[in-house]
Chain A
């Protein structure tokens, strides 16, 4: 099919530059989740949209060469496990499940608020990977009649 070859050269060139900025913005949103609006959910969706941008502009074949899809599966499953591990560490150190056992730090500093920052990062990875993989699978299913 024609669409699997991706879009025109203009779109590809713009995408090559803009994808990194979108990724950086997503990472910024994730890391400032405890200081400003945003957090793991919003940042994860931005990361998924960056990958989706590459998939729409360059086509599936290039993307599966560029990204290791089965590795993304592993990352997605591992991040869910990491959330549980942080929770169980809370039992052993803090006394209850998902207790905030790290240093609280200063109020408006970037490295502060204990386990909220690592949990934000874990959720961002989880949401981003799983949403990208859903679109990947949905776009890959050949459903058009006569294809």
Chain B
């Protein structure tokens, strides 16, 4: 096997008598595994020419927990807590993606109330995840206070989730066939109240950070992903939309009941900077928060009393076959490739296509030529969660 250093040395500068005094070489610098801007344990080996990045090589695997292997030894329900731990900031969306794959193979009918509550839950989780992205991105760029505002609001969502599901971060709440628990009327009222409050807060965030002169200087025209790069590397979610392409699975390939909902898909328009830069990716997330609030309000208006659990056999055995199910998560599209051989209560193979894994592979493409500080801004703007990169 090749050693990790066999990646092709850059050409050594020619040394002759005149230039011997001026010889230069690339400096290797490790960003991470413990680095505030990597939001977890990601090591990026950067080769710098003074302040300019010449190469960036991501080294993954520090958080590899063999989730795909473990799930081959567990029954279909037992996998759900493991799927939670992929993207621990958006666990509900991850659960939903996996559960949809199993339900498709099982042919389960999910009750309407459960579908609507799943939408409410998933959109609340999307808001929570985007708030986290907003807060930590500001910290990466040296602004501390937005983080406190973001966590204040995120805490309110976590409180609701704690009451409904019993856990704050890793829920095991969306089950095959429906939901573990129903929302009470009081909780629904609190979700509505949160929505009203969120809209006011979102406006505050724009004043606080989005239109801040320093923030714009740090992010506009920095780390530009062209649209062609996005397709070449398979980027999805806010990265693709930030580059100005209007693509959202909830709109273009609707799953669950999303086709009944009326919402916009925000894209990076380049009103500041240009489409595909850090500022546009950031603003797409902030505008998605408002769209999520719209969806939650519509879902609550559609709610009718009923059961939240469909009919599911006690022991789940899936027929022989395979599915690839996509769903729109806060960080991009989650793909679940589930293979079943029939007559078995464990998945034969479960492959998770995680959005961040794809986005990390884009870093070597954009890094060359950037300043180190801009590279930090770029890494922050793709909103990595290492749990799902390493699985």
Q: Do A and B come from one complex?
A: no
Interface positions of B (Cβ within 8 A of A): none
